[in-house]
Structure 1
Amino acid sequence: MVDVLSTRLQEVYAKWETRTDVPREAEESFSRLSLDGLRRVGTQSQRKRLQIREQARKIRANSLIKIKETELLVPAPSNAPTISFKCCTTCTPGSRDSFASIAAQQLQSSGRNLLLVEPGPSLVSKIFKHLSFVYNVKKFDYPRVTHTVLNDERLRDAIHLTAAKAVEEDGVPEREALQDAESRAKQILKMMESSMSDMLLRITAWVLYKLLPFFIKSLVVQQSQIEMLKKADRTGVPLVIVPLHRSHLDYIVITFFMFVNNIRSSLIAAGDNLRIPLFGRILNGLGAYYIKRRIDPVLGKKDILYRATLQTYVMESLRAGHNLEFFIEGGRTRTGKPCLPKAGILSIIVEAYLDGTIEDALVVPAAVNYERLVDGNFIREQLGQPKQMETFGNAIRAIWSTIRGNYGIVKVNMCEPFSLKEMVRFIDIQLAKQGSVAKPVEKPLKNTMSTSSLFGTDVMDDEHKQLVESLGRHVVYDAANASPIMSTNLVAFILLNKYRDGCTMDELVDIFNSLRQELEAAGKDLAFCGESLDIINHALTILGPGLVKQQRQEVMRKMVDQTTRKEFVTAITPISILPNVVELAYYSNGVICHYVMDSIVVSALYATLKTEINDPRAIAENDLTVFHNSLSEKARALCDILKYEFIFTQPCQDLEDTIANAIQRLVHSGIIRTCEENLLEEEQWSRRFAKTFDDSSDEEAAVVYASKKIKYKLNLEPESSGRMEFLHTVLRPLIDTYTFSAFTLRKIVGRSLTERDLVQEIFVEIKTNLDRGIVNYGESLSVDTIRNAVKTFEKWNVLECHPQEKTKIYYLKDEYDNDTAANAVFESIDTFKWTRTIN
Structure 2
Amino acid sequence: MTTVRRVRDLARAGLPRSVGERLPAAPPQEVTELLHDKRFQAAVATWAHENDVEEPAAWDEVTGYLHEMAADHDDRTSQGWARLGDWFLRAYDVLVDEDQMQRLRKVDRRHSLALAFSHRSYLDGMVIPNVLMARRFSPTYTFGGANLNLPVIGTVAKRTGMIFIRRSTQEIPVYRLALRSYIRQMVTNRRNLAWSIEGGRTRTGKLRPPVHGILKYLTDTVQGDGEGDDAPDVQVVPVSVVYDQLHEVSLMTEEARGASKTPEDWRWLVRFARLQRRRLGRAYLTVGEPFSLRERMDELAAEGLTGHQAVERVALDISHRLNRATPVTVTAIVSLALLGADRALTVDEVLDTVEPLAAYIDARHWPVAGAADLRDRSTIRRALSELARSGVLTAYDQGTEPVWKIGDDQHLVAAFYRNTVIHILVERAIGELALLTVSELEPGAELPDGGELQVGWEEAKRMRDLLKFEFFFPSRAEFEDDLRTELHLLVGDDVGELTPVRARELLVTARPHLAHLVLRPFLDAYLVVADRLAEHGDGHVDEADLLADSLAVGQQWALQRRVASAESISLELFRTALALARHKGLLAEGEGVGSAREAFAAELRDSVRRVNVIGEIAGEPVQVVAPPVPSSSPRRETV
The alignment's TM-score, normalised by the length of structure 2, stands at 0.83
Letter in 2 for 1:547: V
Q: Residue 148 of structure 1 corresponds to which residue in structure 2? A: 33
Q: Residue 100 of structure 2 corresponds to which residue in structure 1? A: 225
Aligned-residue offset at 1:238 = 0.6
* Greater mean alpha carbon deviation, residues 516-525 or residues 287-296: 516-525
Aligned-residue offset at 1:717 = 9.1
3-state SS, counterpart of residue 115 of structure 2: strand
* Greater mean alpha carbon deviation, residues 822-831 or residues 756-765: 756-765
3-state SS, counterpart of residue 474 of structure 1: helix
Q: Residue 821 of structure 1 corresponds to which residue in structure 2? A: 596
3-state SS, counterpart of residue 493 of structure 1: helix
- Alignment partner of 1:720 out of 504, 509, 512: 509
In structure 2, the CA distance between the partners of 1:418 and 1:162, relative to structure 1 (3 Å rule), is closer
- Alignment partner of 1:202 out of 79, 85, 110: 79
The CA distance in 2 between the partners of 1:718 and 1:225, in whole Å, is: 39
Number of aligned positions between the proteins: 574
Q: Residue 644 of structure 1 corresponds to which residue in structure 2? A: 469
Q: Residue 667 of structure 1 corresponds to which residue in structure 2? A: 491
The CA distance in 2 between the partners of 1:307 and 1:339, in whole Å, is: 23
Aligned-residue offset at 1:220 = 1.2
Question: Is contact 2:438-2:499 (8 Å) kept?
Answer: no
Pair 1:263 & 2:137 matched: yes
Q: Residue 109 of structure 2 corresponds to which residue in structure 1? A: 234
Deviations along 1:747-806, whole A, 9 cap, x unmatched?
A: 34454455433332333332232233212221111212221122222222333xxxxxxx
Aligned-residue offset at 1:287 = 1.2
Aligned-residue offset at 1:262 = 0.9
Pair 1:320 & 2:165 matched: no
**What's the % identity of the aligned pairs?**
24
1:345-356 paired onto structure 2 within 5 Å: 345-355=214-224, 356=229
Aligned-residue offset at 1:328 = 0.6
Deviations along 1:707-751, whole A, 9 cap, x unmatched?
A: 6x7666244699737743x43332001011112222222234454
- Alignment partner of 2:424 out of 588, 591, 594: 594
Question: Is contact 2:113-2:193 (8 Å) kept?
Answer: yes
In structure 2, the CA distance between the partners of 1:315 and 1:757, relative to structure 1 (3 Å rule), is farther
1:161-176 paired onto structure 2 within 5 Å: 163-164=48-49, 167=52
Deviations along 1:270-299, whole A, 9 cap, x unmatched?
A: 111111122222322221111212222xxx
The CA distance in 2 between the partners of 1:158 and 1:757, in whole Å, is: 45
1:424-463 paired onto structure 2 within 5 Å: 424-431=297-304, 463=306
3-state SS, counterpart of residue 559 of structure 2: helix
Q: Residue 21 of structure 2 corresponds to which residue in structure 1? A: none
In structure 2, the CA distance between the partners of 1:798 and 1:148, relative to structure 1 (3 Å rule), is farther
The CA distance in 2 between the partners of 1:652 and 1:144, in whole Å, is: 46
The CA distance in 1 between the partners of 2:357 and 2:478, in whole Å, is: 27
In structure 2, the CA distance between the partners of 1:741 and 1:665, relative to structure 1 (3 Å rule), is farther
Question: Is contact 1:628-1:712 (8 Å) kept?
Answer: no
Q: Residue 382 of structure 1 corresponds to which residue in structure 2? A: 256
Aligned-residue offset at 1:654 = 2.6
Pair 1:373 & 2:246 matched: yes
Aligned-residue offset at 1:638 = 0.9
Q: Residue 446 of structure 1 corresponds to which residue in structure 2? A: none
Question: Is contact 2:388-2:395 (8 Å) kept?
Answer: no
- Alignment partner of 1:730 out of 491, 494, 518: 518
- Alignment partner of 2:392 out of 528, 547, 558: 547
1:510-529 paired onto structure 2 within 5 Å: 510-528=352-370, 529=372
- Alignment partner of 2:288 out of 405, 415, 426: 415
Letter in 1 for 2:361: L
Aligned-residue offset at 1:608 = 5.5
- Alignment partner of 1:630 out of 446, 455, 472: 455
Letter in 2 for 1:591: V
Deviations along 1:467-505, whole A, 9 cap, x unmatched?
A: 1111111111111111122221111111112x3222221
Aligned-residue offset at 1:628 = 1.1
Question: Is contact 2:249-2:416 (8 Å) kept?
Answer: no
Letter in 1 for 2:410: N
Question: Is contact 1:330-1:342 (8 Å) kept?
Answer: yes
Question: Is contact 2:116-2:197 (8 Å) kept?
Answer: yes
Pair 1:472 & 2:315 matched: yes
3-state SS, counterpart of residue 503 of structure 1: coil
Q: Residue 570 of structure 1 corresponds to which residue in structure 2? A: 402
Gaps of 5+ in 2: 1-26, 444-450, 620-639
The CA distance in 2 between the partners of 1:646 and 1:601, in whole Å, is: 15
3-state SS, counterpart of residue 627 of structure 1: helix
Deviations along 1:617-666, whole A, 9 cap, x unmatched?
A: 9xxxxxxxx911111101101110111111122x5953222233333333
The CA distance in 2 between the partners of 1:832 and 1:660, in whole Å, is: 22
In structure 2, the CA distance between the partners of 1:727 and 1:325, relative to structure 1 (3 Å rule), is same
The CA distance in 1 between the partners of 2:381 and 2:453, in whole Å, is: 43
Aligned-residue offset at 1:423 = 1.7
Q: Residue 564 of structure 1 corresponds to which residue in structure 2? A: none
Q: Residue 69 of structure 2 corresponds to which residue in structure 1? A: 192
Question: Is contact 2:198-2:210 (8 Å) kept?
Answer: yes
Q: CA RMSD in A?
A: 2.9
3-state SS, counterpart of residue 267 of structure 1: strand
Letter in 1 for 2:100: Q
Question: Is contact 2:356-2:512 (8 Å) kept?
Answer: no
Q: Residue 24 of structure 1 corresponds to which residue in structure 2? A: none
Letter in 1 for 2:502: K
The CA distance in 2 between the partners of 1:644 and 1:226, in whole Å, is: 33
Letter in 2 for 1:222: D
Letter in 2 for 1:227: Q
Aligned-residue offset at 1:219 = 1.3
Deviations along 1:487-539, whole A, 9 cap, x unmatched?
A: 21111111112x32222212223333432333233222212436722212321
Letter in 1 for 2:367: D
Gaps of 5+ in 1: 1-141, 168-173, 297-301, 432-436, 438-462, 555-567, 618-625, 675-705, 800-810
In structure 2, the CA distance between the partners of 1:181 and 1:659, relative to structure 1 (3 Å rule), is same
Letter in 2 for 1:189: L
In structure 2, the CA distance between the partners of 1:240 and 1:524, relative to structure 1 (3 Å rule), is same
Question: Is contact 2:430-2:463 (8 Å) kept?
Answer: yes
The CA distance in 1 between the partners of 2:469 and 2:168, in whole Å, is: 21
Letter in 2 for 1:471: V
Question: Is contact 1:372-1:542 (8 Å) kept?
Answer: no
Q: Residue 658 of structure 1 corresponds to which residue in structure 2? A: 482
In structure 2, the CA distance between the partners of 1:652 and 1:144, relative to structure 1 (3 Å rule), is farther
3-state SS, counterpart of residue 259 of structure 2: coil
The CA distance in 2 between the partners of 1:663 and 1:489, in whole Å, is: 25
3-state SS, counterpart of residue 402 of structure 2: strand
Aligned-residue offset at 1:339 = 1.6
1:15-54 paired onto structure 2 within 5 Å: none
Question: Is contact 2:466-2:580 (8 Å) kept?
Answer: yes
The CA distance in 1 between the partners of 2:566 and 2:526, in whole Å, is: 14
The CA distance in 2 between the partners of 1:388 and 1:157, in whole Å, is: 42
In structure 2, the CA distance between the partners of 1:721 and 1:504, relative to structure 1 (3 Å rule), is same
3-state SS, counterpart of residue 136 of structure 2: coil
3-state SS, counterpart of residue 361 of structure 2: helix
3-state SS, counterpart of residue 290 of structure 1: strand
In structure 2, the CA distance between the partners of 1:157 and 1:652, relative to structure 1 (3 Å rule), is farther
Aligned-residue offset at 1:212 = 5.9
The CA distance in 1 between the partners of 2:501 and 2:287, in whole Å, is: 40
The CA distance in 1 between the partners of 2:327 and 2:84, in whole Å, is: 26
- Alignment partner of 1:360 out of 221, 233, 252: 233
